[in-house]
Structures are given as C-alpha cells and as structure tokens.
C-alpha cells in the first residue's frame, strides 16, 4: 500500500493485490493509523490495483467510512472497477460510498 498526499489534510491510499480476510488486518492498521490523525479531513482509497475484494475488504471500507464520518471527515473511493462494485452491491451498500472516477 502506498500513500499519496494530495494536499494538506487530504491523502490517498493506493491498495494492491487482494483485499480479503487474510490481508485486511495489516491494511487496516495502516489505513486507520493515518485516518485517525486529527489533521486528516479527507481520505481517498484507490482500488484500481485490487484484484479481488471480499466481505472483509468491504467491512474495512465501512469501518473507515464510520471513523471519518464521526469526525466530520470523508472517504472517497477511486478506481472502483466492476468486480469491486459487485461486492459492494452484494453487501447491500450500493450508493453508500462516495466515488471518484480518477
């Protein structure tokens, strides 16, 4: 996973590989550590490099969304391809996340 700083308080995490119940614990530690910083107002998660995402990956996005929403910050998903969208839909969360095209 790589972080890109877009501007002050706005970062993007670029995820790669499988986002599943085996990889989520490690990815979660990194994501939440940054998202909990008071200076962070917006977190982007770029999923373009994610080959497969299961329910655990979806749950991680929900957890990140909850954390940021409670603080008045927001989460934007990028690079959401069809297989990711299908998983989000299967979880009943279609439309729950803000998505960007770029």
Partner 1 sequence: MNSSDFCTVEGLDSYYGNRQVLYDVRFRIPRNRITVIMGASGCGKTTLLRHLIGLKPCRPGQVLVEGKDLGAFNSRELMLYRRRTGVLFQSGALFNSLSVAENIAVPLRVHTKLADETIRIICSIKLHMVGLAEFRDYMPSQLSGGMRKRAGLARALAMDPEILFVDEPSSGLDPITAAGLDRLILDLRETLGMTIVVVTHELESAFQIADQLIVLDYGRVLVAGTANEVRGSPDPRVVQFLGRQADSKPPDLGKYRASLLQ
Contact positions toward partner 1, by CB under 8 A? 20-22, 24-25, 28, 54-56, 58-60, 62-63, 83, 86-87, 89-93
Nearest approach in angstroms of CB 40 to partner 1 is 19
Q: Which is nearer to partner 1, 72 or 92 (CB)?
A: 92
Question: Closest Cα to residue 76, out of 45, 39, 101, 102?
Answer: 45
Identify which of 68, 51, 70 has the alpha carbon closest to the alpha carbon of residue 9: 68
Q: How far is the CB of 53 from partner 1 (least distance, A)?
A: 9
The SS3 of residue 4 is: strand
| Least distance CB 33 / partner 1 (angstroms) | 13
Closer residue to partner 1 in complex, CB, 6/21: 21
Cβ atoms of 37 and 71 closer than 8 Å: no
Distance, CA of 37 to CA of 18 (rounded, Å) = 26
Q: Which is nearer to partner 1, 11 or 64 (CB)?
A: 64
């Amino acid at each position: 996973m790589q972080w890109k700083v877009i501007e002050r308080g706005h970062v993007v995490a670029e995820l790669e590989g499988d986002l599943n119940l085996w990889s989520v614990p490690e990815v979660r530690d990194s994501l939440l550590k940054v998202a909990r910083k008071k200076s962070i107002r917006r977190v982007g998660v770029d999923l373009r490099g994610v080959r497969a995402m299961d329910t655990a990956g979806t749950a991680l996005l929900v957890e990140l969304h909850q954390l940021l929403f409670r603080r008045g910050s927001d989460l934007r998903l990028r690079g959401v391809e069809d297989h990711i969208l299908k998983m989000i839909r299967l979880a009943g969360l279609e439309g729950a996340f803000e998505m960007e095209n770029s």
